[in-house]
Amino acid sequence: MSLRGFLRISPHLRQFRCMRSVPTNIRHNARLLSATSALRSDMAIPSDDDKSQFPGSKSTFTEKLEFLQPDLYDGIPVYRVMDRNGDVIVPSQDPGLDQETIVKMYKTMTLLNTVDKILYESQRQGRISFYMTNYGEEGTHIGSAAALDARDIVFGQYREAGVLLWRGFRLDEAMNQCYGNVKDLGKGKQMPVHYGSKDLNFYTISSPLATQMPHASGAAYAIKRAGLDICVICYFGEGAASEGDAHAAFNFAATLDAPVIFFCRNNGYAISTPTKEQYRGDGIAIRGPAYGITTIRVDGNDVFAVYNVVKAARRLAVEESKPVLIEAMTYRVGHHSTSDDSSAYRSVDEVRYWDKEDHPIGRLRRYMINKDYWDEDKEKTWMQESRRNVLEEFAKAETLKKPSPTEMMTDVLDSLSPNLERQLEKMKKHVEEYKEHYPVSNFEEMKD
């Protein structure tokens, strides 16, 4: 507060009313002395040996001129439960999940893998316009989803399809969305893989990076204000953490004590940009303490470690109304999307290592075999069954028509504005006049 501001509100000003007849310079000095005395009485002046009282930091004094160096420590450790062979390292860290849950985890991870293979190939054949696979990151999806309450709200980026599958998103819903047909919940208005489900508390995905992050902080604050016993989880990649929206989201969540879990999938590449060019610090987790956010780093290829971390983070978020930052270290085995060719910026040997030696599905499979939960016969039967189920829904979705072109004007306003009504009529008239130039048979008829 400025001295002028202090003088405006100081109770000592009452005595100045009787000093109007005193010369100006004396009155000024008297005011200054009175204000200074008041400040001293209202605020303790620390001695040189005290902890610093600056309101913007938490620190002690030092007489040593020394800059903080970013490379003087070994980095934040990566929490894990299983080693690469699927063996639990410390028994007390085993989450103790029952066989049914573990088998469901494995089946959902492999089902997602099958969906990816079929839809990726369908895009290459020109049957859908775009696709993004989840290869190598299945453990981050299923481990986190299994630890959440079904009521918790999810803000995804675009590589979290496994979270939806765990929550009950059906294969036909996924296929219909990618084809943008009449049964698509979004009425064909989104790119493929931009899923959303109100019933499953999963906000519709938006293409621009990190826009979901401030939304997540705001939703979590609203939950806090409403007194609900749920939280928000927000997924994003390490590349998205370079966006300004990430800073805003972290800062708002921390200062408002919003119950949100920020889940970063650090998969090594932001499209073609490797982490060594994306940032200079120790990943994304190092940023958490700077914002005042409880933080942990986890092995994203260890589904049990992810489960444990998210379960503990949820407890902090819900019971203590605290934001939590989780950095899941993983690897994107597939291309960024069907618009990307990752062979241009990384080696085949690098990809092969993560696909064969340190893959979340392989690690969980080895654990299940060691526990006698799984064997080769079950593997073969399930793979055939899951592929058959995916292909059946794929075939159904492909035969359905696209929504009527009139749908493009709806769902933004409660009712069409006069301007939109004019545009709609012009569009209908244009298509009718030149219908031989448009694939009108692929769409439902125009609606009145």
233: nearest Cα among 304, 305, 306:
306
- 386 in catalytic set: no
327: nearest Cα among 259, 250, 244:
250
* DSSP for residue 431: H
Q: How many Å apart are CA 225 and CA 275, to the nearest integer?
A: 37
- 28 in catalytic set: no
CA 313, 132, 310: angle at the middle one, nearest 5? 5
* DSSP for residue 360: H
Choose, from 37, 121, 320, 425, the residue flagged as catalytic. 121
Both ends of the chain: CA-CA distance in Å?
64
* DSSP for residue 445: P
Choose, from 10, 272, 321, 337, the residue flagged as catalytic. 337
- Residue 429 phi/psi, 5° resolution? -65, -40
Which amino acid belongs to residue 250?
Answer: F
Choose, from 207, 339, 343, 417, the residue flagged as catalytic. 207
Residue 294 burial by Cβ neighbours in a 10 Å radius (0-12, 13-18, 19+): middle
Choose, from 336, 359, 386, 393, the residue flagged as catalytic. 336
- 215 in catalytic set: no
**Cβ-proximal residues to 326 (8 Å cutoff; 6+ apart), any chain:** 261, 262, 263, 264, 295, 296, 297, 298, 309, 310, 313
Task: Kindly write down the DSSP assignment for every residue of 83-138, as one continuous string.
Answer: -TTS-BSSGGG-----HHHHHHHHHHHHHHHHHHHHHHHHHHTTSSS-----TT-H
- 137 in catalytic set: no
Which token pair is 408? 């493009």
So which residues are the catalytic ones?
A: 121, 207, 336-337
